[in-house]
Amino acid sequence: MEIKNIDKSNMREVITKSPEQLTNGLDLAKNIKIEGVFKNVIVCGVGGSALPANILNSVVVTKIPLLVHRDYNLPASANEDSLVVCISYSGNTEETVSALEKAIHKNITAVAIATGGKIEKICEEHNVALTKIPAGIQPRSATGYLFSALATILTNCGIIDDISEDILNTARELEKRNPALEKEGKALAKKIAKKIPIVYASNNFKAAARIWKIKFNENSKIPAFHNYFPELNHNEMVGFTNSKNVSGFYVLIIKDAQDHPRTLKRMDLMSSILKKKGVKNSFIETVEGSMALKLFEVLLLGDWTSYYIAINNKIDPTPVEMVEEFKMMLNK
């Protein structure tokens, strides 16, 4: 069967063109500037819409604390000195709509990123700045748009240093490397076949591990898990004690040469222990370059790997029918 007969929504094209999102997101948010002196930033979003904030926290050091809020309403730390950034790709995510409404009710400065929906209507009614991004893809596939838009907004507010050149360079490099990453992801997908993937990384790359896990769930339609070093060596590794129960896992370890030397040693030892227990595992080595380039290249490889697991299993990687059914049940 041809891929196009499985990939009915053409996710392959979305992944192929995803580096362009980084460039486009910069332009979409360039005129958004929120006046004020803020003491913290609270990024509200769930699912794929929350991912850009996690990546941003790995790429830059914000001048004020940045908290990611994945829930209804607002956290206790939200007050009149906060900047609330509501991100909902669809514009209809009920948790994020709730957060935006709460910010307006409490007279807390807010800004939003969405394709439209309820978020856009609320922004129009209450004069809240909105960065509107292109619709038509899954939220988890729009990370480039959302990340660049978020970075631009925070740069314009003076909350982070300008990283637009780094983002543009990352987009150019990813376009060059994308064919090779597709080939690598296709090969990795075969290794993971019929296994449950677990993704490990250092604290610096735990956002990437989490996103890989999400892509396995939503693209591949399989269970997956993630954790990070050194934390996992103090608890989770003990779960591999009984080798009779662990052969169904495949562990991927994201490894960066700049990780703490002791963390790198932990990774090597963990790989060795897993092999002795009969757990297959592989290292995902990062490239040289900026943190943005390292992260987005790793994420692009995760896209291709999860995509080809779905294709190999003759599953359309785009729809998330269980999520949609669950939302319908919630609304009954």
**pLDDT tens-digit series, residues 189-204:** 999 999 999 999 999 9
Mean pLDDT of 6-22: 96
Domains 31-162 and 177-312 share a fold: yes
Contact 254, 209 (CB under 8 A): yes
The predicted structure's pLDDT at residue 53: 94
CATH among 3.40.50.10490, 2.60.200.20, 3.60.150.10, 3.40.50.2000 for 31-162: 3.40.50.10490
Q: Is pLDDT of 288 > 80?
A: yes
Catalytic annotation, pick one of 102, 218, 226, 294:
218
Cα–Cα distance, 23 to 172 (Å, whole number): 9
Q: Is pLDDT of 330 > 90?
A: no
The predicted structure's pLDDT at residue 244: 82
pLDDT-derived band of residue 2, with 50, 70 and 90 as boundaries? Answer: confident
Q: Is pLDDT of 4 > 90?
A: no
Q: Is pLDDT of 113 > 70?
A: yes
pTM (predicted TM-score): 0.94
Contact 212, 332 (CB under 8 A): no
| Residue 254 token pair | 């994201």
**pLDDT tens-digit series, residues 245-255:** 898 999 999 99
Give catalytic status of residue 314 as yes or no. Answer: no
For residue 25, with 0-12 CB atoms within 10 Å meaning exposed, 13-18 middle and 19 or more buried, which class applies? buried
For residue 207, with 0-12 CB atoms within 10 Å meaning exposed, 13-18 middle and 19 or more buried, which class applies? buried
Which of 210, 119, 111 has its CA nearest to residue 159?
111
Q: Is pLDDT of 229 > 70?
A: yes
Contact 270, 230 (CB under 8 A): no
Q: Is pLDDT of 1 > 70?
A: no
CATH among 3.50.50.60, 3.90.1750.10, 3.40.50.300, 3.40.50.10490 for 177-312: 3.40.50.10490
Mean pLDDT of 123-144: 96
Cα 298 vs. chain centroid, distance in angstroms? 11
Catalytic annotation, pick one of 2, 4, 165, 234:
234
Mean pLDDT of the chain: 96
**pLDDT tens-digit series, residues 38-64:** 999 999 999 888 889 999 999 999 999
**pLDDT tens-digit series, residues 23-45:** 999 999 999 999 999 999 999 99
Give catalytic status of residue 165 as yes or no. Answer: no
pLDDT-derived band of residue 294, with 50, 70 and 90 as boundaries? Answer: very high
Q: Under the phi-then-psi rule, with left for phi > 0, alpha for psi from -120 to 50, and beta for the rest, what region is 289?
A: left
- Alpha helices (H) in 29-93, listed in sequence order: 51-59
Give catalytic status of residue 105 as yes or no. Answer: no
The predicted structure's pLDDT at residue 327: 83
Mean pLDDT of 278-295: 96
If one compares 326 and 153, the residue with the highest pLDDT of the two is: 153
Cα–Cα distance, 82 to 99 (Å, whole number): 13
Which of 266, 275, 197 has its CA nearest to residue 230?
266
Q: Residue 175 half-sphere exposure, CB side, CA atoms within 13 Å?
A: 12
Q: Is pLDDT of 328 > 90?
A: no
Mean pLDDT of 144-156: 97
Domain boundaries, the chain: 31-162, 177-312
